């Protein structure tokens, strides 16, 4: 079920989204907050001029609500990342302890050397 907020913005189970796509407003906000020009964001997500204008208009007129939801999305993403990192920690340590696949010893030695140079190991 989706709630239509304007001809471009709908509220779906994923939150505020571009109608007819799986693109969320939060993805666009992430890019805009990172300093990407509006035209670049528009091209990246293949949005029409009208869609981009509707998104920017919606964000401007609902700034407080959109920012609140965006912060909640970031919080949920961090919780998910932490959960999966913890859940997979032991398995990743097991994998790291395994010897290189036969025939890939030289590649692993080169990778280990490069990580050491970068201070990663």
Instruction: Output the pLDDT for position 56.
Output: 94
Instruction: Output the pLDDT for position 45.
Output: 96
Instruction: Output the pLDDT for position 112.
Output: 86
Residue 32 has pLDDT above 90, yes or no: yes
pLDDT tens for 68-111 read 999 999 999 999 999 999 999 888 888 888 887 888 888 888 98
Question: What range does the domain containing 71 cover?
Answer: 3-117
Instruction: Output the pLDDT for position 78.
Output: 94
The pTM score is 0.67
| CATH number of 110's domain | 1.10.10.10
Residue 14 has pLDDT above 90, yes or no: no
> In the chain, how many domains are there?
1
Instruction: Output the pLDDT for position 100.
Output: 77
pLDDT tens for 37-71 read 999 999 999 999 999 999 999 999 999 999 999 99
> How is residue 13 written in tokens?
């189970």
Residue 1's pLDDT band, with cuts at 50, 70 and 90, is low
């Amino acid at each position: 079920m989706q709630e239509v907020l304007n001809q471009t913005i709908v509220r779906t189970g994923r939150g505020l989204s571009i109608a007819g796509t799986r693109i969320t407003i939060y993805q666009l906000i992430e890019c805009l907050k990172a300093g990407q020009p509006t035209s670049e964001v528009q091209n990246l997500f293949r949005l029409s001029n009208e869609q981009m204008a509707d998104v920017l208009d919606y964000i401007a007129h609902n700034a407080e609500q959109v920012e609140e939801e965006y912060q909640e999305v970031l919080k949920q993403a961090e919780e998910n990342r932490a959960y999966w990192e913890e859940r997979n920690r032991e398995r990743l340590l097991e994998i790291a302890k395994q010897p290189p696949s036969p025939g890939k010893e030289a590649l692993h030695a080169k990778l280990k050397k490069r990580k050491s140079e970068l201070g990663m190991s």
